[in-house]
């Protein structure tokens, strides 16, 4: 775990502990804010501390800066060590149980000496638990159900899984009489790499009835709440889905509100308050008078702001940029002119060169690069030099059959442990596109891994670095590497770094995209497809790039073929 993550998690635990101790709510929020801002830093926190710039991080004042310094130098935080003596860590973790908040947990701790999950379950089975103010039979049942979900440790769901599921549920909701404009909101609309639940918004004037039918849909396993405007269910695949029903006049305000993020909305509301306006999910109001609500654009506009794209509503400077008229003009899916990272049945893909090329053409692309693995990737059936040249022959015959799209001969070449590449330069020079990537030797120490990749980037035939950190979301941590050095080397030698669109990778991730762009490093968004249907995943990569504030000009494969060709050959265009 990186030190940023460690500090961020400790601040969160402090916030939760203080919550149970019923400390000042704004102090608690300060800790949560600081935790979030630290987890989203695009620069190493140690470097920031060395420059004595910690208080320049939003939400970090003198006190928290001192705490960060203490943790960096000593590896622990005395304040938190003391807090743990007062409130057991295991107890604080129980806040993740649905329906169990700080107030009730505090009572259970003080009056029933509950300090962990086992003791909580015992207490719930006891007779006198009902004596606690606010505890009834229904509440006990709710908590038991919450514990079951907690034990299944409800994982966050990958974007690539949640998105098609949300689309399916939306189709189901659209079949309910009287609904229109059904759309997903929340972190899904912001295209976060993982989502905790699925938020859906629909327009209807018979809210109660719509919610009732929603809770009876075939995909529902469990109903958590069902009211006049809001319903909440657990779907059969274990994902929580919340539906909100609003009238047409409130659609924009509700969409803005339910899209979040929470931090973004808090700041937006503060702007409203300063202008004497009130903003909630029903609209923007001056006194009793409605000023906006029908469209999201209007809500922002009446606050004196341009429409801010959902993907960057994370309170990472987008509101300040909007005020100054400096919002980025984010790259769009339509800007993408081709896919530069695609596998076929020559290595570990499932389809032929022709199938992949035809699908790419159907998507309207100008070019596609066929980039199978190199020999070291044995499991992936990497191509020997002989097979590489055989493949080239097939590719050339496909070029004659499939017209109207440029089919580029490429390879995803392994970076070996010493930083050399898996084919000799004499072979690399014959390829149109050379991708360098790490598939073996993940456990290398940071400095060595950084040197290894930097060396590969100095090879004159390499065009870009694929999945630069090697992470698999929820499965494998990124390898240790100094990304700033990688980005600087890439820029110096005219190479790009990839945003890999595979839903498990999304690598680079959003904040690292921003980091690369801030350094002026070019980016390629590609799919790493192993089947024609995977080419559609480009939208996930584009969304990730958008979350990293990427503009069309930052993305190499928004170039037309001629421009791309110049870039591949080392000419600036």
Decide: 436 and 524 in contact? Cβ < 8 Å: no
Q: How far is the CB of 100 from DNA (least distance, A)?
A: 6
Closest CA to 3 of 31, 30, 43: 43
- Helix 3-20 and helix 78-86, axial crossing angle in degrees, nearest 10: 40
Decide whether 2 or 106 has the Cβ nearer to DNA.
106
The rounded Cα 45 to chain-centroid distance in angstroms is 21
Decide: 163 and 199 in contact? Cβ < 8 Å: no
Write each residue from 12 to 41 as x if it is in contact with DNA (CB under 7 A), else as -, in one continuous string: ------------x-xx-xxx-xx-------
Decide: 189 and 201 in contact? Cβ < 8 Å: no
Regarding 225 and contact with DNA (CB under 7 A), the answer is yes
d(CA 530, CA 527): 9
Which among 274-282, 346-354, 378-386, 394-402 is the span making contact with DNA, rule CB under 7 A?
A: 274-282
Decide: 313 and 320 in contact? Cβ < 8 Å: no
Regarding 139 and contact with DNA (CB under 7 A), the answer is yes
Q: How far is the CB of 196 from DNA (least distance, A)?
A: 7
Q: In sequence order, what are the beta bridge partners of 525?
A: 499
The β-bridge relationship of strands 180-184 and 198-203 is antiparallel
Regarding 553 and contact with DNA (CB under 7 A), the answer is no
d(CA 573, CA 564): 8
Which among 40-48, 267-275, 354-362, 442-450 is the span making contact with DNA, rule CB under 7 A?
A: 267-275
User: Which of 2, 39, 194, 229 touches DNA by CB under 7 A?
Assistant: 229
- Under DSSP, the state recorded for 493 is T
User: Which of 272, 410, 532, 541 touches DNA by CB under 7 A?
Assistant: 272
Decide whether 262 or 384 has the Cβ nearer to DNA.
262
User: Which of 116, 155, 270, 333 touches DNA by CB under 7 A?
Assistant: 270
Q: How far is the CB of 193 from DNA (least distance, A)?
A: 18
Closest CA to 375 of 393, 389, 394, 388: 388
Q: How far is the CB of 442 from DNA (least distance, A)?
A: 35
d(CA 538, CA 339): 8
Q: How far is the CB of 139 from DNA (least distance, A)?
A: 4
Decide whether 47 or 270 has the Cβ nearer to DNA.
270
Half-sphere exposure for 176 (CA within 13 Å, toward CB): 27
The β-bridge relationship of strands 367-373 and 406-414 is parallel
User: Which of 85, 113, 138, 289 touches DNA by CB under 7 A?
Assistant: 138
Half-sphere exposure for 353 (CA within 13 Å, toward CB): 26
User: Which of 148, 266, 385, 447 touches DNA by CB under 7 A?
Assistant: 266
d(CA 93, CA 100): 11
Regarding 478 and contact with DNA (CB under 7 A), the answer is no
Write each residue from 232 to 261 as x if it is in contact with DNA (CB under 7 A), else as -, in one continuous string: --------x-x---------------x---
Q: Which of residues 164-203 bind DNA (CB under 7 A)?
A: 186, 197, 199
Tokens of residue 370, six digits: 């066929």
Q: How far is the CB of 256 from DNA (least distance, A)?
A: 12
Closest CA to 357 of 389, 388, 401: 401
- Helix 483-492 and helix 446-457, axial crossing angle in degrees, nearest 10: 10
User: What is the dihedral sign for C-alpha 280, 284, 290, 292?
Assistant: negative
Regarding 154 and contact with DNA (CB under 7 A), the answer is no
- Number of chain positions touching DNA (CB under 7 A): 64
Write each residue from 43 to 72 as x if it is in contact with DNA (CB under 7 A), else as -, in one continuous string: ------------x--xxxxxxxx-------
Neighbours of 307 (CB within 10 A): 15
**Three-state SS annotation for 159-203:** HHHHHHHHHHHHHHHHCCCCCEEEEECHHHHCCCCEECCEEEEEE
Bond from prior residue into 193 cis (ω within 30 degrees of 0): no
Regarding 75 and contact with DNA (CB under 7 A), the answer is no
Decide whether 217 or 416 has the Cβ nearer to DNA.
217
Q: Which of residues 91-130 bind DNA (CB under 7 A)?
A: 95, 97-105
d(CA 304, CA 418): 55
Decide whether 64 or 409 has the Cβ nearer to DNA.
64
- Under DSSP, the state recorded for 472 is B
284 CB burial (10 A radius; 0-12, 13-18, 19+): buried
The β-bridge relationship of strands 278-280 and 283-286 is antiparallel
User: Which of 113, 175, 177, 274 touches DNA by CB under 7 A?
Assistant: 274
Which among 109-117, 222-230, 325-333, 456-464 is the span making contact with DNA, rule CB under 7 A?
A: 222-230
User: Which of 6, 9, 70, 142 touches DNA by CB under 7 A?
Assistant: 142
Which among 41-49, 172-180, 268-276, 339-347 is the span making contact with DNA, rule CB under 7 A?
A: 268-276
Decide whether 60 or 340 has the Cβ nearer to DNA.
60
Q: How far is the CB of 542 from DNA (least distance, A)?
A: 25
Tokens of residue 569, six digits: 């050959």
User: Which of 84, 145, 269, 297 touches DNA by CB under 7 A?
Assistant: 269
Decide whether 279 or 434 has the Cβ nearer to DNA.
279
d(CA 484, CA 505): 20
Which among 158-166, 269-277, 360-368, 380-388 is the span making contact with DNA, rule CB under 7 A?
A: 269-277
Which among 136-144, 160-168, 355-363, 431-439 is the span making contact with DNA, rule CB under 7 A?
A: 136-144
User: Which of 2, 115, 226, 565 touches DNA by CB under 7 A?
Assistant: 226
Q: How far is the CB of 452 from DNA (least distance, A)?
A: 39
- Site of interaction with DNA (CB under 7 A): 24, 26-27, 29-31, 33-34, 55, 58-65, 79, 95, 97-105, 133-140, 142, 146, 186, 197, 199, 211, 225-230, 240, 242, 258, 262, 265-266, 269-270, 272-274, 278-282
């Amino acid at each position: 775990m990186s030190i940023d993550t460690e500090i961020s998690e400790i601040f969160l635990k402090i916030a939760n502990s203080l919550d149970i101790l019923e400390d000042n709510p704004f102090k608690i929020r300060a800790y949560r804010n600081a935790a979030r801002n630290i987890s989203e830093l695009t620069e190493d926190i140690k470097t920031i501390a060395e420059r004595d710039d910690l208080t320049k991080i939003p939400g970090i004042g003198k006190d928290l800066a001192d705490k960060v310094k203490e943790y960096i130098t000593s590896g622990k935080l005395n304040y938190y060590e003391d807090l743990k003596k007062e409130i057991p860590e295991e107890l604080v973790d129980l806040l993740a149980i649905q329906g169990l908040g700080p107030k009730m947990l505090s009572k259970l701790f003080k009056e029933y000496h509950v300090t962990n999950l086992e003791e909580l379950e015992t207490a719930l089975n006891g007779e006198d638990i009902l004596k606690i103010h606010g505890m009834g039979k229904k509440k006990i049942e709710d908590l038991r159900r919450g514990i079951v979900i907690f034990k299944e440790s409800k994982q966050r769901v990958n974007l690539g899984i949640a998105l098609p599921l949300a689309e399916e549920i939306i189709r189901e909701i659209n079949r309910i009489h009287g609904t229109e404009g059904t759309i997903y909101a929340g972190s899904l609309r912001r295209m976060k790499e993982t989502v905790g639940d699925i938020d859906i918004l629909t327009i209807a004037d018979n809210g109660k009835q719509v919610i009732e039918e929603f809770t009876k849909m075939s995909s529902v396993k469990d109903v958590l709440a069902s009211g006049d405007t809001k319903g909440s269910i657990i779907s059969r695949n274990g994902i929580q889905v919340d539906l909100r029903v609003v009238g047409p006049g409130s659609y924009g305000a509700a969409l803005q509100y339910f899209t979040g993020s929470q931090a973004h909305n808090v700041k937006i509301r503060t702007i409203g308050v300063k202008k004497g306006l009130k903003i909630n999910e029903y609209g923007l109001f001056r006194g009793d008078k409605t000023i906006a609500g029908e469209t999201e654009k209007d809500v922002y506009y009446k606050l004196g702001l341009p429409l801010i794209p959902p993907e960057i509503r994370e309170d990472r400077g987008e509101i300040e940029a909007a005020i100054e008229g400096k919002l980025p003009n984010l790259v769009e899916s339509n800007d993408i002119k081709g896919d530069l990272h695609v596998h076929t049945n020559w290595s570990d893909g499932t389809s032929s060169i022709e199938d992949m090329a035809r699908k790419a053409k159907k998507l309207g692309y100008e070019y596609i690069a066929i980039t199978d693995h190199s020999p070291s990737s044995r499991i992936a059936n990497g191509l020997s030099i002989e097979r590489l040249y055989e493949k080239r022959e097939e590719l050339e015959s496909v070029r004659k059959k499939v017209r109207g799209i440029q089919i580029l001969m490429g390879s995803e070449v392994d970076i070996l442990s010493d930083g050399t590449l898996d084919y000799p330069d004499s072979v690399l020079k014959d390829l149109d596109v050379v991708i360098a990537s790490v598939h073996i030797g993940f456990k290398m120490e940071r400095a060595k891994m950084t040197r290894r990749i930097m060396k590969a980037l100095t090879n004159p035939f390499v065009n870009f670095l694929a999945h630069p950190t090697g992470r698999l979301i929820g499965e494998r941590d990124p390898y240790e590497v100094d990304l700033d050095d990688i980005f600087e080397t890439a820029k110096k030698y005219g190479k790009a770094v990839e945003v890999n669109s595979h839903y498990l990778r999304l690598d680079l991730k959003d904040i690292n995209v921003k980091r690369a762009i801030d350094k002026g490093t070019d980016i390629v968004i590609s799919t790493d497809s192993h089947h024609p249907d995977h080419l559609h995943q480009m939208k996930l990569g584009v969304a990730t790039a958008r979350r990293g504030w990427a503009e069309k000009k930052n993305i190499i494969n928004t170039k037309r073929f001629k421009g791309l060709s110049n870039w591949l050959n080392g000419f600036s265009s």
